[in-house]
Amino acid sequence: MHMKFHITTFGCQMNVHDSQWLTRALESRGWEETGEDDAQVYILNTCSVRDKPEQKVYSELGRVAAHCKRDESVFAAVGGCVAQQVGRGFFERFPFVRLVFGSDGIAGAPNALERIAAGSDERVALLDFVTLYEERERPETPAAPDNTRQAFVNIMQGCDNFCAYCIVPYTRGRQKSRTPDAILDECRSLVDNGVREITLLGQNVNSFGLDKGGTGVSFAQLLRAVAAIPGLDRLRFTTSHPKDIAGEVIRAFGELENLCPSLHLPMQAGSDRVLKAMRRKYDMKRYLEIVDGLKAARPDISLTTDLIVGFPGETEEDFKETLRMVELVGFESSFSFKYSDRPGVAAVNMEPKVPAEEAAERLLRLQTLQNNITRKCLKNLVGVETDAFIEGLSRMQEGDALSWKGRDPAGRIVNVSVAESGDLVGRMVPVRIVEAKKHSLVGERTGEPW
Ligand code: 5AD
Ligand code: SF4
């Protein structure tokens, strides 16, 4: 039974990658991805890290309900973090939901979808946590179907950290590392098939191998092995926990040529008191040491971060420490959020809660500061010569030449106009940065695409 499916993804890069994998696994069974209006199967890959993305899931389910009413054979599947939490509860509330799967259950999702589509009237829940990483089938279809020649590779799943605010250990289970052989094998085969950029993914990549699935290979060793694959032009990894980043990984930024000069290093707060309450297990002295080490290894490194304002007990003084640290480190950009209570996490019972208006006001102040820093960082790049790795056409087109959207090695968006026609997706265009916009750069082509 070849079905038309539509997949909607919320949340982090792990979810984006999970959805890409599921899409390819279904395509290799002859299924076809389609628009929202004519799908026979709706798949929602969900996120519950904060209240907002979770609410989006329910409004999206309302829309799916309308589609499922069209025809009784149309059905939905809910995967990801909200699915793991609510589980079979979805079956009771939404009669058209026929499959729920968590991140550990995703490996079995394609076969379950096939069975349901073939007419089995069962409702399937794939919610068991596993203790070892379960290898997923590797679909034959191209890794980067849109020809971007960029790919994500999972190196682990789950998280053992139990930060006081975070639901992830409950929704994605304990940390389980994939074997280095499986990771390297996948990376090599991607590069053999034309991939030029790989992003290694995990909730906390720096503790790679430090679980039951470990084989004694550290993250630093894995990084070296992947970087050594001939033909790999760019290597990235995310996400890092400051408490686990090894000196060897910091030094790698100065040693591995294809390791991109950017790091997302979630700081969460700038006050040691708040960091302690958050159970982050580092203080600002340690965080700043890491930053110094990174800047020494790679002076042009671009640092980005995640920040939470209004964590229970955060005072105005604590918050000012966050502002001070953001300025001191000079993060090029950051994701910042108001603390939101998540079911079952330790911070739910922490007091006093910061009033919503106060948290909103702090968020605004933080984001204003960040915008100023971002602007300065981007301005400083005018005149720099670099390569833009082209992902597609820019949203804004003007004049006769086509404008392309690419990324510099640090991952910044660089738009560049190229007079000749011809598809540049997946190619590097040498550029000189000529202008800084609010969140992107404009480059002028200086050489032949490669
Ligand atoms: N409230 C607000 N932000 C949160 N994050 C995680 N849990 C919460 C929460 N309960 C943020 C953190 C994390 C990012 C993915 O989401 O900053 O790094
Ligand atoms: Fe959202 Fe976290 Fe789950 Fe990713 S792991 S989808 S950020 S809750």
pTM tops 0.85, yes or no: yes
Instruction: Dump pLDDT digits (tens) for 312-368.
Output: 999 999 999 999 999 999 999 999 999 999 999 999 999 999 999 999 999 999 999
**pLDDT at residue 69 above 90?**
no
Residue 254 pLDDT level (bands cut at 50, 70, 90): very high
| Domain 385-445 in this protein, CATH class | mainly beta
8-state DSSP, 410 = T
Q: Rounded to an integer, what distance in angstroms lies between the CA atom of residue 119 and that of residue 121?
A: 6
The residue among 386, 282, 371, 385 whose CA lies nearest residue 332 is: 371
Residues with CB under 6 A from ligand 1: 49-50, 165-166, 266, 268, 306, 308, 337, 339-340, 342
Instruction: Dump pLDDT digits (tens) for 21-49.
Output: 999 999 999 999 999 989 999 999 999 99
pLDDT for position 67: 87
Nearest CA to ligand 2 atom 7: 12
**The amino acid at 138:** R
Residue 54 pLDDT level (bands cut at 50, 70, 90): confident
pLDDT for position 142: 58
Q: Rounded to an integer, what distance in angstroms lies between the CA atom of residue 94 and that of residue 130?
A: 27
Instruction: Dump pLDDT digits (tens) for 98-150.
Output: 999 999 999 999 999 999 999 888 899 999 999 999 999 988 765 555 788 99
Can you give the residue ranges of every domain in the chain?
Answer: 4-126, 150-379, 385-445
**How much distance in Å is there from the Cα of 346 to the middle of ligand 1?**
13
| Domain 150-379 in this protein, CATH class | alpha beta
Would you give the distance in Å from CA 438 to the centre of its chain? 22
Query: Which residues contribute to the annotated binding site for [4Fe-4S] cluster?
Result: 12, 47, 81, 159, 163, 166
Residues with CB under 6 A from ligand 2: 11-12, 14-15, 47-49, 80-81, 167-168, 171-172
pLDDT for position 166: 96
Minimum-distance ligand 1 atom for the alpha carbon of 342: 10
Instruction: Dump pLDDT digits (tens) for 284-295.
Output: 999 999 999 999
Instruction: Dump pLDDT digits (tens) for 184-206.
Output: 999 999 999 999 999 999 999 99
**Fold of the 4-126 domain:** Rossmann fold (3.40.50)
pLDDT, mean of residues 147-168: 94
CB-based contact 431:376 (threshold 8 Å):
no
**pLDDT at residue 394 above 80?**
yes
**55-64, 225-234, 391-400 — which one is most confidently predicted on average?**
225-234
Residue 1 pLDDT level (bands cut at 50, 70, 90): confident
Minimum-distance ligand 1 atom for the alpha carbon of 335: 17
Residue 419 pLDDT level (bands cut at 50, 70, 90): confident
Average pLDDT in the chain = 94
Cα–Cα separations (whole angstroms), residue 82 to 9, 26, 78: 12, 22, 8
pLDDT, mean of residues 237-251: 96
CB-based contact 312:353 (threshold 8 Å):
yes
